[in-house]
Structure 1
């Protein structure tokens, strides 16, 4: 999926988690949004990859897109240092990453941005390189842009409004 769609899913996760710990609402929301785009640090074409392009180019050269950064191990490694400071914020970061992995598991793309043509994410990398997922939504296609993105944004806005 595109970065904007990942951010919309991260907003849904962040809004719901912020409601559980209102005192940490802003850090929780920020962590969920960051987590929702963090796995795409593995491509210099992503929102995050363009901002950290030296790191992104290196990760892309080693793993390709939808490689190790799209795994449960990556989620655990990203959450661990945050957990030591604030477990609720770490959970939000992990939830954002989980929304990213779920969205990429149902989407497919083609071209040099993808290590292996097709859908899915290597959830159990490095133990298993096989990808989990199905080809349901074309990246940047009409289903993503005209249905999934607007409805997810509306849901996040409505859920956030309910917290006020």
Structure 2
């Protein structure tokens, strides 16, 4: 999926979660958007990879794309590291929700993800789509509608 779809996926997921939970909506949704692009730090052409090219290059050289940074291991590591730097549950959980949305969206692509890295099993949905294609645009529209639905009662 493209960066814009991941960002909207993170925002939509965060808006849905914050609708039912008691997190700070603004912080949670911003953290969700950040978490939604974080796994692509392994790809130099991604939104976050272009912002941090050296880190992206190192991670890609060591792990490749859609392996470690698209795994439950990375999710746990990020969660742990966040608890070392903040006790704000809206930030921590927002980032993690955004990351999970990223994993789900990339599992819907033909390449899938290595969710159980270092085990080299590729996880993908039975029906997949091409990154940047028409189906992705429909998904983006759906995520936008989810955001509007859950966000309409939030004051940001």
> If the length of structure 1 is used for normalisation, what is the TM-score?
0.85
Choose which of 131, 138, 142 in structure 2 pairs with 1:139. 131
Q: Deviations over 1:39-68 (max 9, x none)?
A: 000000000000000110111122111110
Verify the 8 A CA contact 2:108 2:128 in the aligned structure 1: yes
Q: In angstroms, what is the RMSD of aligned CA positions?
A: 1.5
Q: Deviations over 1:13-48 (max 9, x none)?
A: 2112333225x2222111111111100000000000
Please state how far the C-alpha of 1:86 moved relative to its aligned partner.
2.2
Counterpart mapping for 1:64-75 below 5 A: 64-75=64-75
More strand by share: 1
Q: Which runs of 5 or more residues in structure 1 are unaligned?
A: 109-118
Verify the 8 A CA contact 1:13 1:92 in the aligned structure 2: no
Please state how far the C-alpha of 1:90 moved relative to its aligned partner.
1.5
Larger RCO, structure (CA 8 Å, separation 6 or more): 2
Please state how far the C-alpha of 1:93 moved relative to its aligned partner.
1.2
1:65 is paired with a residue of what secondary structure?
coil
1:86 matched to which residue of 2? 88
> If the length of structure 2 is used for normalisation, what is the TM-score?
0.89
Q: Which runs of 5 or more residues in structure 2 are unaligned?
A: none
